[in-house]
Structure 1
Amino acid sequence: MLLVRPRPDKETIGLQHVMVCEPLELEYLVSNVPEDLQSKVEVEIVDMILEKESYECILTRTRPALVVFTGYITHVGLIKRMSSTAKSLLPGVLTGVGGVHAEVVGMDFLSEDIDFVYSRNGIDGFNITLSGMLENKMTEEIKASLGEMGEKKRSFAYKQPDRKSVSKYRQGYYYMFHSPCALIKTSYGCPYNCSFCFCKEITDGTYFTRDLEDVVEELAAIPEKEIYIVDDDFLFNTERIRKFLRLLQERGIKKNFLVYGRADFVAAQEDVLREFKKQGLQAVIVGIESIRAGDLEQYNKKTDKEMNEKAIQVLKKLDIELYATLILPTDFDRVDFKELTAWLRKLNVRFVNLQPLTPLRGTGIFEQYSDQFLYPRERYEMWDMAHVILEPQGMGIRAFYWEIVKAYYRIIMRPKHILALVKKYGVRQNLKMLLGSSAVSLQYLMKVMRGY
C-alpha cells in the first residue's frame, strides 16, 4: 500500500519554498492499521516533495495494490492525474484520497480513476478498505461499507503517529527557521466562526481536544527539538495551556514551540504567554487579517485594530516571533496597500503572509463571490491563497500583484530586520530562507508580467 503526498503543481505559488512539514495524516494511517492486519499488509509513505525517485518508477518498482493520496484543494488536479497514471501502469490497482479537502468538498475528487474518497473518519475508512481488499471484496462492496460508517467522529481515540514511517525524509522537514521540525496536533476543529475559514468546516463546527497526558507522552518520544503544534487555535483555553506547561515541566521536556493563536488571546494573556515563553514558546502565527473595521466585521473576526496592535506589542515585549497573516480584499487600492505597509513597518512586524481574499468552497463566503471568480474552480492549482482569484476593483490584476511584491519587500527586507535575523538564526538559515523567498518572489513577478 502506497501513501502518497504529491509535490505541488508548478503553477501553485508555494509556501513549500519556505516550509516543508511532515505528512502527519499519513503517519496516523500507518500507526493505526489494526493489529490483525499488520502482518498482511505493507504500508509505505512516499513524500513526493522530498522524494528523488520518480512517481512512475516507484509504482513500477513496488507494484502496490492500493495507492492513497493526501492533499489540499491545490492538489485535486494533480491527484486525479496521478491516479490515472497508477491505473495505466498497474491495471487492477485501487486508488483513494483523503485529507482536509476530501473531508469538506469530497465531490471535487469524483473521477473514474479514484475508487475511494475518504470524506469522513479517514483512518477508519482506510482500515475498512484494507479489510475489504484482504477479504477479496469487490470495489463497490468496499464503497458501500465506507458509506455505512456514520457521522464524523467528535472525539479522538487513535494511536500516536508512526514517525519512523518517514525516517528517510525527516531531516528535510522544517518551517521557516524551525529546522528540523516535527508536527503534533492536540485539538481538532476551531471554537470560533470566522466567515472565510475552512478549518471549522473539517469537523462541521465541532471543537474537541486530545488528552494532554497523551500529548505529552507523544512529545517525549519526538526526537526533534522544534515542534509545530498544528491546532487551528492552540492558544484558546488558559487552564489547558497551564496544565500543558505543568506536564512539560514534570516530565522535563524541553522543546521549542510554534503555535497558532488569536490576537484577542495574545493581547489579554501576557502572563500566560510569559510562562509559555519560559518553556520554549518561540513563535505564534496570528491571523491579524485586516486593519479596517469593516473587513474584520465582514470576516466575523471579533477583533479590532487596537487589539491587533496590542497583540503585536505583547509578542515583541516577550521576544516571541510573530508570523502575521492578512487578507487582501478586492477593493484594496494603492492607498490601502500603503497604509497597511506603513502600519506593519511602524509596529516592526518582520514576517507577514499577505493573502488575496480566496472564498473556498465550504466556507461562509463562498456563495457570496461564486459568480466573480477569475478562474474556474477546476483550475485547482490556483486556489492557493496567494493567487488573485477575484478581480480587483481599484486596479488591474498585474498592478495588484505588483503591490503585493512591493509590500513584502518593504516589510520583510528591511536592513535592521535582516541583521536581527542573522544574529538570531545564523547565516546558513537566512540564506536558506532567502533562496526560498526568492523562488516565491519569482512566481509573483511572473504574475506581474503575465497578469491573468
Structure 2
Amino acid sequence: MNILLIRPKPHKETIGLQHVMICEPLELEYLYSNIPCHLINKVKVHIIDMIIEKKSMDYFIKKYNPTLVAFTGYISHVNIIKNYAREIKFIKKDTYIAVGGVHAEVVPEDFLDDNIDFIIRANGIDTFNEIVESIVNNTSFNHIDGIYGPNKPVVKKMEFNYNFPNRKSVSKYRKHYYYMFHNPCSLIKTSFGCPYNCSFCFCKEITDGAYFKRPLSSVIDELKSIPEDEIYIVDDDFLADKNRIEDFCDRLEAENIKKNYLVYGRADFISSNEDLIRRFSSLGLRAVIVGIESFRETDLEKYNKKTNIHINERAIKILQKYDVETYATLILPLDYTKSDFKDLANWLIGLNLTFINLQPLTPLKGTAIYDDYKKDFIIDENEFEKWDLAHLVLRPKHLSIREFYMETIKTYYRVTMRPKNTMRLLKKYAFKENFKMFIGSSLVIMQYIKKVIRGV
C-alpha cells in the first residue's frame, strides 16, 4: 500500500520565515526510516514537501492512490491541513488521514474534523507504526494509546531509541534546504524538552515539562552519516549542560569531525561559560539563536527568564568575540510606544547586532499565559494561520495596529540594514547568498507592509 507523508505549505496569510529558510522535514524522515521490518515489503512510503512542490495535492493523490496520508504541522497549519484532508477525502473517500506534530501533541482537539481519522497525541513514531500495522492487518485501532480521544489518558515516552532519519527520502528536495546563510543545511535533534520554565514557551509543553537527552555516542554516529557541512541542532536548548557540551567537543576532536553548527542557547549559559564557547567555536560553532527577549528588566521578570540585561549583553559580546553569529529573538510587549521602539533599536545597534527576530507577545494555546490573555484576543482563535508569532493577536495599548506593524518594520530596517552590516555580510558571505537573503527578507517585509495597509 502507498503512504504519503506530507509537509504542508503555509497559508498565504502566514508571515513566514520560509522566505529566508526552508529546513528539511526531519520528523517525516524519522517516520520513513522507522517502518518496522515486517512491514517494509507491504508498504511504499513517499515524502511530499508542499513548501517546495509546484504540483497540486490532487496530482499526488491521483498519482499514488494512497491508503494512508499523514501530515505534520504547527498551529499555523491547522486550517491548511483540514482543507487538504477535505480535498483528499473528496478525491479518494477511503483514504485514512493522520496528523501529528507538536501542536497535535499539545492541543490535539484543534485538529478534530470529520475528514481526519487519527490525531497522533504522543509517541509519534510508535503510534504511526501501530496505525500502519492495523491498516495492513485490517484490525481495530482502539488499542493504540497514542491516538487522541476525549478524556483518553496518554503516557509519553521519555526516551528516543530509533533509527536515524532517512535523509535520502527527500533527495529530490535536499538542494532547497537551508537556514539563512547556512546552505545547504541539515538538521539533527539531540534532546527533547527544555530544563527551563519560561511562561510564554511552547517547547516545554510538548514533553509535559520533562527534559531528556540522546546518548552522545548516537549523536556523533549520526553526525558522521550526514553529508552536509552545515548542521542545525534543533534542540530547544542545546547549550543546557556544560558537561555534555564539553563531552561533545571532546568527541568532535577525537573523531576529527569538521562541520559548522547552528544551535539554540540561553544567554546565561553563554555568559557563564566563555571558555567553553571559545572551544566550541574552534570546533565549528558558527551561530547561536539566543532569546534575549527584551531590553527592559521588568519584561524579563514577567517572562520568568531568570536572566537580566547585563547577562544578555555579556552573552552577545562573548559570541562576537569568538566570531559566532548571534541570531537574537525578542518579544515585543503590547505596551510599547514609538519611543520604546526607538530605544529598542538604539540598544540593538549599540550591541552591534545584525540578525534579529521581533515577535509580538503571542500567548499560544497550551502555554502558561494563554488563559490570562484569552479575553483580549483581537483575532479569532480559529484563524490559525495568523498564530505565527508575527501577527498581532492582542491589541497594542498605545499604538494603533498599523503603527505597531510600522514601528516593527522600521526597527528591522534600522538594525539589520545599516551600511555597516551590509558591508560585513558582503565580505563574509558570497554575493549569491546575500542576494537570496535580500529577496527573502524583502518578501517578509512586504507581508508586514500589507498588514500596515490593511490595518488588521
Q: Contact 1:187–1:209 (CA<8 Å) still a contact in 2?
A: yes
Aligned to 1:156: 160
Aligned to 2:271: 267
Mean alpha-carbon deviation: is it higher for 382-391 or for 146-155?
146-155
Q: Normalising by structure 1, report the TM-score.
A: 0.98
Aligned to 1:282: 286
Q: Contact 1:132–1:142 (CA<8 Å) still a contact in 2?
A: no
Q: Contact 2:122–2:147 (CA<8 Å) still a contact in 1?
A: no
Q: Structure 1: which 4+ aligned runs deviate by more than 3 Å? A: 140-150
Q: Contact 1:188–1:209 (CA<8 Å) still a contact in 2?
A: yes
Structure 2 segments unaligned to the other structure (5+ residues): none
Report the secondary structure of 1:370's partner residue: helix
Q: How far did 1:179 drift?
A: 0.3
String of CA shifts for 1:302-330, please: whole Å, max 9, x gaps: 00111111111111111100000000011
Choose the corresponding residue for 2:5, options 3, 7, 19: 3
Aligned to 2:173: 169
1:311-322 aligned at under 5 Å gives the runs: 311-322=315-326
1:30-109 aligned at under 5 Å gives the runs: 30-109=32-111
AA paired with 1:208? F
Q: Contact 2:291–2:328 (CA<8 Å) still a contact in 1?
A: yes
Aligned to 1:233: 237
Give the root-mean-square deviation of aligned CA atoms. 1.2
Q: How far did 1:80 drift?
A: 0.3
Structure 1 segments unaligned to the other structure (5+ residues): none
String of CA shifts for 1:346-378, please: whole Å, max 9, x gaps: 111000000000000110100110000111110
Q: How far did 1:146 drift?
A: 3.8
Report the secondary structure of 1:61's partner residue: helix
Q: Contact 1:128–1:142 (CA<8 Å) still a contact in 2?
A: no
Aligned to 1:242: 246
Q: How far did 1:141 drift?
A: 3.8
Q: How far did 1:149 drift?
A: 8.7
Choose the corresponding residue for 1:390, options 356, 376, 394: 394
Report the secondary structure of 2:375's partner residue: coil
Report the secondary structure of 1:192's partner residue: coil
Q: Contact 1:45–1:166 (CA<8 Å) still a contact in 2?
A: yes
Choose the corresponding residue for 1:367, options 360, 367, 371: 371
How far apart in 2 are the matches of 1:375 and 1:146?
A: 30
AA paired with 2:188? I
Choose the corresponding residue for 1:403, options 407, 412, 421: 407
Choose the corresponding residue for 1:110, options 112, 129, 132: 112
Is residue 256 from structure 1 mapped to residue 260 from structure 2 by the alignment? yes
How far apart in 1 are the matches of 2:353 and 2:96?
A: 48
Decide whether aligned partners of structure 1 residues 41 and 142 sit closer, same or farther in structure 2, where only a CA change above 3 A counts.
farther
Q: Contact 1:80–1:111 (CA<8 Å) still a contact in 2?
A: yes
1:193-232 aligned at under 5 Å gives the runs: 193-232=197-236
How far apart in 2 are the matches of 1:249 and 1:145?
A: 40
Aligned to 1:347: 351
How far apart in 2 are the matches of 1:451 and 1:331?
A: 18
How far apart in 1 are the matches of 2:194 and 2:200?
A: 13
How far apart in 2 are the matches of 1:119 and 1:249?
A: 39
Q: How far did 1:277 drift?
A: 0.5
Decide whether aligned partners of structure 1 residues 199 and 127 sit closer, same or farther in structure 2, where only a CA change above 3 A counts.
same
String of CA shifts for 1:395-414, please: whole Å, max 9, x gaps: 10000000000000000000
Report the secondary structure of 1:69's partner residue: strand
How far apart in 1 are the matches of 2:307 and 2:198?
A: 11
Q: How far did 1:120 drift?
A: 0.5
Is residue 24 from structure 1 mapped to residue 26 from structure 2 by the alignment? yes
AA paired with 1:23? P
How far apart in 2 are the matches of 1:149 and 1:40?
A: 31
Aligned to 1:324: 328
Q: How far did 1:53 drift?
A: 2.0
Report the secondary structure of 2:44's partner residue: coil
Q: Contact 1:84–1:113 (CA<8 Å) still a contact in 2?
A: yes
Report the secondary structure of 1:371's partner residue: helix
Mean alpha-carbon deviation: is it higher for 50-59 or for 163-172?
50-59
Report the secondary structure of 1:276's partner residue: helix
Percent of matched pairs sharing the same residue: 55
Q: How far did 1:156 drift?
A: 1.1
AA paired with 2:217? E
Decide whether aligned partners of structure 1 residues 111 and 7 sit closer, same or farther in structure 2, where only a CA change above 3 A counts.
same
Choose the corresponding residue for 1:119, options 92, 99, 121: 121
Aligned to 1:377: 381
Matched length: 451
Report the secondary structure of 2:87's partner residue: helix
Q: Contact 1:181–1:228 (CA<8 Å) still a contact in 2?
A: yes
AA paired with 1:371? K
Q: Contact 2:232–2:261 (CA<8 Å) still a contact in 1?
A: yes
Aligned to 2:299: 295
Q: Contact 2:290–2:327 (CA<8 Å) still a contact in 1?
A: yes
String of CA shifts for 1:138-170, please: whole Å, max 9, x gaps: 5x5466784689400111111111111111101
How far apart in 2 are the matches of 1:391 and 1:189?
A: 31
How far apart in 2 are the matches of 1:16 and 1:403?
A: 23
Choose the corresponding residue for 1:417, options 412, 416, 421: 421
Choose the corresponding residue for 1:133, options 135, 147, 156: 135
